[in-house]
Each structure stands twice: as structure tokens, then as C-alpha cells.
Amino acid sequence: MKERVAVLGAGSWGTALAIELGRSGHDVLLWGRDPAVAERIAADGRHPRRLTEFRIPPETRATSDLGEAFGFAATILVAVPCASLRPLLDLAPARPGRGLRVVSTAKGIEPDTLRRMSEILAERYPQAAVAALSGPTFAEGVARGDPTAAVIASRDAAAVEALQASLSSPTFRLYRSDDLTGVELAGALKNVVAIAAGIVSGLGFGHNTLAALVTRGLAEIGRIVRSQGGQDRTVQGLAGVGDLMLTCTGKQSRNRFVGEEVGRGRRLSEVLVDMPEVAEGARTCLAVPRLAGAAGVEAPIADAVVQVLYEGVPARDAVERLMTRALRPE
């Protein structure tokens, strides 16, 4: 069924979503803050800087007018980096929340407040149906039309069923969930583990080390998700193990790339300044030890990532500390 959908954020992920939704027949408005991007999309049918090899369907048009984007549709997909969400909402026009469906597609935790993105959206639009979309979804694959599966989660049963039905397509299959907390946390936490996976690879360690790191990372994600009321089935599903596998091993993973470069000896600040888009784990990792500590659970991998990225601990030393922790049952 054809619907109007607004996508906020014209980076790779927002552009990929706009391409997918337009290709599926929806009437899509893609918002980006740069007017030149909207003009080039209108003129050339391609994004000038992101996913340039993929044509943007005529069903998708672009704008730099945030008011136009918010007034365009009752379904809004928010695809800006987590750090940009509050500034975006500060500029967003007021509109009645009733009947509005707002979907967060970012994967992070706000370090200062420990809030998930859906919680920030619900603060701004308390009457809206708030959801989160997560899973193993590299932007390039979605834009190309590779068969992709993800999870759409909300506590509003009617809204999540409607979103699942309207946003799914033959190449983009959505499973629905009521575990909003678990889906968001799993998506955010796997980015931190992916940085750790990149670090061990950058140090030159092989598949044994990577497999151990990813497996124990999944256990760490599970402990934190459960401590916040999330479900085990989420950790074992697309938003958990599925996204973790992709982000820890895929060459397109920005978070893994950050870890690899740091493992090779570069400073985090040097790596980030050279990246055209955001690696969410570099910010989210600051929230994880606090979140875990408040819940009384251990997060040794996240602790190690923070130590390496922000506290000057050599990466090799951090790995040794992980390997020499007190022995215990699995």
C-alpha cells in the first residue's frame, strides 16, 4: 500500500532508506540540511556524496526545509546520527503527536543521560507512536536491493503492525517486536563490540581472537539488555547476533574500521576527523560502563574500549587484561 513517508537525514543510511521506500512505490521526502544536496538529487537523481552509484527513484524527492519534511507525512523515519538528534528536534516544528509514527533508525545511547533514541523522541512527541528499526543493514546493500531483514519495535502494537506492513517489501523484510528497549540496546551495544573486534584485528590477531571477542561480546550485550528489561530472544535475533555478526566482520563497518585503525596505532581523534560519516560506537562506549555499573552487571569489553580510546591504555595491554581476568564458568 502506497504511503507518504518522510526520511530525516541524507547520509548513507537515510539515503538508502529513501531509495528502498521509493523503489517500493511509496511517496518519499528525504530531508538533508544541505540545500545543494537536495538540488543535485532533483537535477541528477543521485546523491552527490553518498551512494553515488545508485539512482534515487522518482518517487523520492529531497528537501532542505525541515518544516516541509515534518508536515509531509504521518510516518517519519529519523536517520540522523545520535548526537544530532536533540539539535534536530530543537529545530523541528511543533505538531500534534496524535496519529504521528516516529521511527528511530540510529543505533546509540546518549552518554550524558543514558537515554535511548526512542526515549528522546518520546520526550518531544509524547503522544506519538515511537518505534525503532534495527538489524544487520549496511546502507549499500539496502540501496542495491540485496535481500535484507531487520526488526521494527514499538510498545504500540497497532502502530508496529502497521509499520511492518507498510515498510516491508520483497527485498526488505521486517519482523515486529514489542521489545523496544532490547532492540535499541542491542543495536547500540554491538557498535562498541565492533570497535573491539576492529582493535584485535588491527593488532594482527587472527580468527581465534575475533571469534572469542564476538562471542563474549554477545554475552556482554545479553547481560546489559536483560538488566534493562530487554528480552533474550532479541539478543539472539536480527537486532542482536545478526547485527553483531555483520558489524564485527563486514568491511563496510565504520565501527570496526575505527577499531582497526586504533589497533594499528592511530589516535581516535585522527581516525574520526578523516571519516565522512559517524561511527556511533565511539560515543556510545562512554555510556556503557555507566549503564552496566548502575545495573550491577559487568561490561569488561566496553570498559576496555573506553580505556583504549579515551584513557591512553595501549590496545595490547587492554587485550592482556581481558585475557587475564579471574577465571569463571562460561
Q: Quick check: 313 pLDDT over 90? A: yes
> For residue 295, what is the enclosing H or E element?
helix 288-295
What are the catalytic residues?
Answer: 190
Q: Quick check: 279 pLDDT over 70? A: yes
Mean pLDDT of 172-179: 98
Specify the CATH architecture of the domain 4-178.
3-Layer(aba) Sandwich (3.40)
Q: Which CATH superfamily is 188-323 part of? A: N-(1-d-carboxylethyl)-l-norvaline Dehydrogenase; domain 2 (1.10.1040.10)
285: helix, strand or coil: coil
Query: Residues of the chain with pLDDT > 70: what percent?
Result: 99
Tell me the pLDDT band of 97, cut-offs 50, 70 and 90.
low
> For residue 297, what is the enclosing H or E element?
none
Q: Quick check: 238 pLDDT over 90? A: yes
Q: Quick check: 191 pLDDT over 90? A: yes
User: What is the domain partition of the chain in residue ranges?
Assistant: 4-178, 188-323
Mean pLDDT of 166-193: 98
At 94 the pLDDT is 79
Nine cell digits for residue 48? 552527490
Q: Give the closest residue to 21 by CA, choosing from 70, 76, 59, 65.
A: 59
Mean pLDDT of 80-104: 89
Tell me the pLDDT band of 99, cut-offs 50, 70 and 90.
confident
Mean pLDDT of 270-286: 94
Distance CA 156, CA 77 (A): 16
Q: Nearest-5° angle of CA 3, CA 18, CA 273?
A: 150
At 256 the pLDDT is 97
Tell me the pLDDT band of 2, cut-offs 50, 70 and 90.
confident
At 203 the pLDDT is 97
pLDDT digits (tens, 9 = 90+) for 100-115: 999 999 999 999 999 9
pLDDT digits (tens, 9 = 90+) for 134-160: 999 999 999 999 999 999 999 999 999
Nine cell digits for residue 262? 586504533
pTM of the model: 0.95
At 98 the pLDDT is 76
Mean pLDDT of 76-99: 89
* Terminal C-alpha separation, the chain: 48
Q: Nearest-5° angle of CA 77, CA 17, CA 104?
A: 30
Nine cell digits for residue 252? 563496510
At 268, phi and psi to the nearest 5?
-55, -45
Distance CA 62, CA 47 (A): 10
Averaged pLDDT score across all residues of the chain = 95
Mean pLDDT of 158-167: 97
Tell me the pLDDT band of 96, cut-offs 50, 70 and 90.
low
pLDDT digits (tens, 9 = 90+) for 20-75: 999 999 999 999 999 999 999 999 999 999 999 999 999 999 999 999 999 999 99
